[in-house]
């Protein structure tokens, strides 16, 4: 009940929509800059106006004050993890091990009633700029992580992920710095969308990584990480008669994603992924919706 009340207050809130539009404007104003610099500008805008007050609600005649808090957490060290892939060849087990970036940005949305956590969702964003209009390059070693979530390691600690749905939380954030459409500055694509549009299967993806790993072991020169060109970054549309889950399989404007994240429509509650993100991400954004019988401290 309380989660739906929170959503009813958040949906269409003008102050929140204004903040989301400002974040998109920041992306647009920094098209000429590098991906890390654009992420830094997003974080900076997120930290401005850190409180948005929402309309209070009543339960059994008791007023509850409601507001949104925008905060940030910084971690230490680069966001790299070691990925372990085991290939069963019937007669032997082959292992591929490599290091890749975990992501550029994490967004955590939480709902609180007084001091009790009602719900929490985490989304992971990997930011990339266009190389050509409506096209960029996708590194396959990172795509494997974002699509299949094998076990990963860092600092001698192993993280194992069970029953995760990458369409809910694992996203590419594409900066439309070349095509520059009027209706949005950047789009979000789920990792399953990217994986599907590239025409890959798990076997084909592993084969590419296997060849790359073999070159790394046999050559003194460092071989280039395998990648493929990805087309279709611009926002798409959904047929009203399509299955509900089809929305994860089209690019959506960054502003639409931020709104859906605020409603808890995207993200994962997986605690292992959150533990890894809070240990490894340099930029973690928190949106906390709080309801309390006491007024928010000024």
Domain ranges within the chain, ordered by starting residue: 2-292
Q: Buried b vs exposed e over 174-203: b needs ≥16 C-beta within 10 Å?
A: bbbbeeeeeebbbbbbbbbbbbebbebeee
Under DSSP, the state recorded for 233 is: -
β-bridge partners, 108: 122, 286
pLDDT score of 243: 47
pLDDT, tens only, 101-113: 888 999 999 999 9
Q: Which residues of the chain have pLDDT under 70?
A: 75-79, 88-93, 237-247, 297-298
pLDDT at 268: 96
- Residue 225 gets which letter from DSSP? P
What pLDDT score was predicted for residue 245? Answer: 56
Write out the DSSP string of 78-107.
Answer: --EEEEEEEEE-SS-EEEEEEEEE--SEEE
- Supply the pLDDT for residue 241: 45
pTM: 0.92
Q: Show the beta-strand stretches assigned E in the chain.
A: 51-59, 62-74, 80-88, 93-101, 105-113, 116-129, 135-139, 152-154, 157-159, 170-175, 186-190, 227-231, 252-253, 283-292
> How far, in Å, CA of 66 to CA of 53, rounded?
6
Burial class (CB in 10 A: 0-12, 13-18, 19+), 88: exposed
Model confidence pLDDT, tens digit, residues 28-68: 999 999 999 999 999 999 999 899 999 999 988 999 999 99
Instruction: Work out the burial of residue 237: count CB atoms within 10 Å of its CB; fewer than 13 is exposed, 13-18 middle, 19 or more buried.
Output: exposed
Give the model's pLDDT for residue 113.
94
């Amino acid at each position: 009940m309380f989660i739906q009340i929170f959503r009813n207050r958040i949906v269409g809130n003008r102050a929140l929509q204004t903040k989301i539009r400002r974040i998109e404007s920041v992306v647009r104003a920094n098209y000429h800059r590098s991906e890390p610099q654009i992420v830094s500008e997003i974080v900076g805008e997120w930290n401005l106006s850190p409180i948005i007050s929402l309309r209070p609600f009543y339960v059994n005649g008791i007023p509850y004050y409601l507001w949104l808090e925008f905060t940030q957490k910084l971690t230490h060290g680069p966001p790299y993890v070691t990925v372990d892939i085991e290939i069963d060849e019937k007669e032997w087990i082959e292992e591929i091990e490599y290091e890749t970036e975990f992501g550029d940005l994490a967004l955590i949305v939480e709902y609180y009633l007084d001091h009790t956590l009602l719900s929490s969702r985490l989304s992971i964003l990997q930011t990339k700029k266009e190389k050509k209009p409506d096209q960029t390059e996708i590194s396959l070693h990172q795509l494997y992580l974002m699509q299949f979530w094998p076990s990963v390691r860092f600092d001698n600690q192993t993280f194992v992920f069970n029953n995760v749905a990458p369409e809910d939380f694992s996203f590419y954030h594409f900066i439309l710095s070349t095509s520059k459409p009027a209706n949005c500055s950047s789009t979000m694509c789920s990792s399953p969308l990217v994986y599907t549009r590239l025409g890959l299967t798990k076997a084909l993806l592993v084969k590419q990584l296997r060849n790359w790993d073999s070159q790394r072991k046999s050559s003194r020169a460092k071989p280039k990480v395998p990648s493929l060109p990805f087309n279709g970054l611009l926002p798409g549309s959904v047929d009203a008669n399509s299955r509900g889950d089809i929305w994860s399989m089209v690019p959506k404007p960054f502003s639409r994603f931020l709104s859906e994240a605020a409603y808890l429509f995207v993200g994962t509650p997986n605690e292992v992924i959150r533990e890894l993100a809070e240990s490894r991400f340099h930029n973690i954004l928190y949106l906390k919706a709080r309801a309390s019988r006491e007024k928010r401290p000024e």
